[in-house]
Amino acid sequence: MKRVLITGGTGFVGANLAEALLRQGTEVRILRRRSSDLRAIAGIDARHYLGDIRDPASLKEAIHTCDTVFHTAAIVKYWKARWEEQLAVNVEGTSNVITACLSEGVTRLVHVSSIAALGHPQHQHLADEETPYNWPEEPGYKYSKRLAELKVLKGVKKGLNAVIVNPSVIIGERDINFHGGSLLTNARKGTTLFYIDGGMNVVYVGDVVKGMIRAAERGRCGERYILGGVNMTTREAFTRTADLIGGRTPVARIPIPVLHTVTKLIEAIFGFLSKEPPITMDLMVNAGIYNWYSSAKAERELGYTVTPFDETILAAYRWYRENGYL
């Protein structure tokens, strides 16, 4: 890779990727909106192109002469009122990226998807790249990521050299919007008083970035690679995080039916107020499910490795403390 474009380069994953590529001597461009928050990319000397993946002309200009494109841009929201925006960005925006890559002769596209685009495992087994999509096919983040992957696979049939990566719950430096980082902030503030049945897979952002670069270099065209980390129960993740950073551990379990009832009530209240709710049924559809995934394919084909959970949490915590977020 000599010259790359990162869509979503001011975001959590994009910023860490830009930093890693610059360290290895790659020329890095990022596509961003004029209004983009630049805090995550502070200190990273990438070349900025103003535009939007919804604007094909600006996208084509940014991609021109690049050999590799990392498509990380997406709207990560679990509120159905944002569906039209998610459709425009996550799905049609991906289609625009594919069209631009084909027209500009890009030699490799790495599409950053999510485990949300894969099916969830059954009976506490591990899901892998072949697990069929079994979430509801209705407006929501998961379905938007699924549709985006289908766009990429159609692009492959047209001659696009593309590979898909599917990270799990990402934690690490530069997560200024506290996506996976909410695990730390909630523990530190003592708001994680309860836990639920089920589990999650937590991955360090540094591992995801290395996996993305390896996918660009070694990944097979048209293939998916899960970039996961450590499988844990929800209770284990909450408790261990609190222990590591001096937070409050959960004290009781909330039954899933109770959680769903409360979530529906909160959604109704916030909907009446025309405000985005803090939790939604689109997000809580995961509740009670053991969202455990295998990264064996990435380990085997990409040389992917996994950082231990404790190191992941402490690395993120140090960055938040040093930068005044906690």
Give dist(CA 3, CA 14) in Å, integer: 15
User: If pLDDT is split at 50, 70 and 90, which confidence band does 222 have?
Assistant: very high
Per-residue pLDDT tens for 230-264?
999 999 999 999 999 999 899 899 999 999 999 99
> Is the pLDDT assigned to residue 78 strictly greater than 90?
no
* Domains of the chain: residue spans and CATH: 3-172+201-230+292-306 (3.40.50.720)
Q: pLDDT tens digits for 118-128? A: 998 887 789 99
- pLDDT tier, 66 (very low <50, low <70, confident <90, very high otherwise): very high
Structure tokens at 243: 């222990």
Strand partners, 49: 31
In this structure, what token pair is assigned to residue 221? 């065209």
User: What's the average model confidence in pLDDT over 201-213?
Assistant: 98
pLDDT in tens, 34-59: 999 999 999 999 999 999 999 999 99
Distance in angstroms (rounded) separating the CA atoms of residues 133 and 137: 9
Task: Give the range among 42-46, 135-139, 262-266, 317-321 with minimum mean pLDDT.
Answer: 135-139
**23 near 1, Cβ under 8 Å?**
no
To the nearest whole percent, how much of the chain has pLDDT over 90? 85
User: How confident is the model at residue 258, as a pLDDT?
Assistant: 93
147-157 b/e with 16+ CB inside 10 Å = b? bbbebbeebbe
pLDDT of residue 138: 86
Find the range with the poorest average confidence among 126-135, 209-218, 240-249, 270-279: 270-279
- Distance CA(298)–CA(301), nearest Å, equals 5
Give the pairing of strands 199-204 and 230-233. antiparallel
| Residue 320 to residue 50: CA distance in whole angstroms | 28
Q: What is the 3-state secondary structure (H, E, C) of 13-44?
A: HHHHHHHHHHHCCCEEEEEECCCCCCHHHCCC
List beta partners, residue 82: none
DSSP state of 81: G
Residue 191: band (very low, low, confident or very high) from pLDDT cuts 50, 70, 90: confident
Instruction: Please state the pTM of the whole predicted model.
Output: 0.95
Rounded Cα gap, residues 219 and 111, in angstroms: 12
Give the three-class secondary structure for 12. Answer: helix
Q: What is the pLDDT of residue 192?
A: 83
Question: What pLDDT, in 10s, does the model give residues 83-122?
Answer: 999 999 999 999 999 999 999 999 999 999 999 999 988 8
pLDDT at 1: 87
Quote the Cα angle for 29-75-54, to 5°.
Answer: 60
Spatial strand order of the sheet with 68-71 comes to 47-50, 27-32, 3-7, 68-71, 108-112, 162-167, 224-227
